[in-house]
Amino acid sequence: MYKLIALDLDGTLLNSDKQISSENKAAIDAARAEGVRVVLVSGRPTSGMRESLEALNMVSDDDYVLSYNASVVQKVKSETIIRSQILTGHNAKQLAKLAKKLDINIHAFSHQKGLITPAHNDYTTHESVINGDTITLIDFEELADDEAILKVMLVDHAHKLSAAIAQLPAALYEQFTIVQSAPFFLEFLNKDSNKGIGVKALADHLSIPAEQVICMGDAGNDFHMIQYAGLGVAMGNATDDIKAVADHITVTNDQHGVAKVINEFVLNM
């Protein structure tokens, strides 16, 4: 019996129109009615997940949300932190120097300042639009070394970003968790943060073993939680590396893949 379902948002629960289908909502409602916990796990900030949480009526203090690729695990209503492992201004400055060297755009999420970038670009604008965040222009050298930074992202055209990734020093992979959430987004997290660690922390908090956890996702930042779960599910639209690690591959996000999995593995329909 599965007791916890962890769902990625973009490319998984949300369809191509960034909506939760009636089929997915009905399946989630039915699972929750059976006592199964359902949580959203996204690279987005919590503010960017609010609309989906409200649509699913997952806004009480008995509901949890995992944001910034599960760098932060918290209760929805009170925002009580269950686990938080984030970066610093020192890290952001280090990565800004790297971005300048590679001629790649960069932005970050500051606890105090929100979405920050040293220069306007299409990819930070995209981030701003999907999450409803205001962009603050700032030279990262102005950040205090101890400023709380949720995550840092290299953002640029897919071909340009791929070329930059090929040039990343190996030492960076020892210092940070590095995941690609989209062809134009490369995310740098605290080394002790990823979606797998975050979902495990919540499952442990709720005394739910891994074998009773379902995780569903489509992109590189979902790798760790799909690997962790008792049932790791890749969407039909997932990248090949995610399909390779998954226990099960469902249909695409536009074909209500989340509902299909819940109906088959949780509701036995």
Catalytic residue numbers read 8
Cβ atoms within 10 Å of 33's Cβ, excluding its own: 9
Pairing of strands 176-182, 148-155: unpaired
Angle at 229 between CA 267 and CA 251, to 5 degrees: 55
Please give the single-letter amino acid code of residue 219: A
Question: Could you tell me which of 178, 187, 174, 112 has the C-alpha nearest to residue 142?
Answer: 112
The CB-side HSE value for 264 (13 A sphere, CA atoms) comes to: 13
Q: Please give the Cα distance from 25 to 175 (Å, whole number).
A: 39
Question: Could you tell me which of 37, 22, 10 has the C-alpha nearest to residue 208?
Answer: 37
Q: Per-residue DSSP letters for 132-199?
A: TPPEEE--GGGS-TT-EEEEEEEE--HHHHHHHHTT--HHHHHHEEEEEEETTEEEEEETT--HHHHH
Q: Please give the Cα distance from 119 to 138 (Å, whole number).
A: 8
Three-state DSSP state, 79: coil
The structure tokens listed for 46 are: 């919590």
Q: Please give the Cα distance from 159 to 134 (Å, whole number).
A: 27
